[in-house]
Copies of this chain bind each other. A is one copy, B any other.
């Protein structure tokens, strides 16, 4: 495909020679001749002079370059669409693998794919075009809506409901029992039957090895279009809003609520029974012990305002210095005090 055709299809302003033939998309460092790349993160700007890419997707304010540029207001989004020109995600062909075990009373829509050794439980309802890869477990009374994709090894426990156009990565578990125990008089823990379920709304993505527990009563809910990364723990009864990004290894204790458009970076943890407002951004490893107002950017453990945290962290690294400064001040005050005493006594 010619670069000028790509520019047209992706609605970019082309500067430079558009006649070059492009055969693929690559990162700026690894791109070969004939590949299209992108340059958005300033960290990689020094790579500009070394790259062998035959074209670059950049922002509208990007300066001139010795290689053809495709300028766009949202270059990262254009990059995403450029990949699709050359690579379509693999699609599982419809059909039930002969080794799959599908309960006779499960309802399967049109063009459903069920891979090797996967099981579909009693009364499960699988929508049109759903792709269940190999080695998945879909238990009794589960609902999975149309076009959703389950990668190998997913486990969807009983009664869980998954919306349409969701993507569940490998070895994720939806509907594992919540971690709920009541303390008994002898100090031992009495198990609380986890009688609730999990609801995943439409267009949600769940990362590999992520665990979403079912509620004790009621439901754990993941809102529309929210994206969850790998190895995340969502405790029982959590309510996540729409369009959130929950990065890898985040953990939410039970019954915490997130608004919409919340971003939790990697390894963030939140206590239970909190309300985290819409638009909140928590920097990586933030520990959230209490509810957070909408729109806040927070950091640290325990979480504070991110700007304060940056300043506090800078001083934290200088605490030994500060400590010495305080001891020095103490000594200088003591000296002054002694001189004073001398003056005072000499005046008496």
In contact, A320 and B340 (Cβ under 8 angstroms): no
What are the 5 A-B residue pairs with the smallest beta carbon separation, nearest first? A176-B208, A87-B195, A77-B182, A80-B192, A315-B319
* A235 contacts chain B at the CB level, 8 A cutoff: yes
A320, B304: Cα distance in complex, Å: 13
Known contacts A116-B101, A308-B320, A248 near B83 by CB under 8 Å: no
For chain A, which range describes its interface: under 10, 10 to 19, 20 to 34, or 35 or more residues?
35 or more
A4, B148: Cα distance in complex, Å: 46
**Per-residue 0/1 for A297-333: is the Cβ within 8 Å of any B Cβ (1 yes, 0 no)?**
0001110100011011101111110110110011011
Q: For the complex formed by this chain, how many copies does it contain in all?
A: 3
* A66 contacts chain B at the CB level, 8 A cutoff: no
A310 to B: closest C-beta gap in Å: 9
In contact, A266 and B285 (Cβ under 8 angstroms): no
In contact, A230 and B176 (Cβ under 8 angstroms): yes
In contact, A311 and B304 (Cβ under 8 angstroms): no
In contact, A171 and B173 (Cβ under 8 angstroms): yes
In contact, B155 and A216 (Cβ under 8 angstroms): no
In contact, B329 and A320 (Cβ under 8 angstroms): no
* A25 contacts chain B at the CB level, 8 A cutoff: yes
Chain B's closest residue to A84 (CB) is B193
**Per-residue 0/1 for A117-134: is the Cβ within 8 Å of any B Cβ (1 yes, 0 no)?**
101000000000000011
Ordered by A's residue number, 12 sampled pairs between the chains whose C-beta atoms are within 8 Å are A83-B192, A116-B119, A119-B134, A134-B137, A151-B157, A151-B177, A173-B208, A179-B248, A188-B243, A233-B249, A233-B266, A308-B317
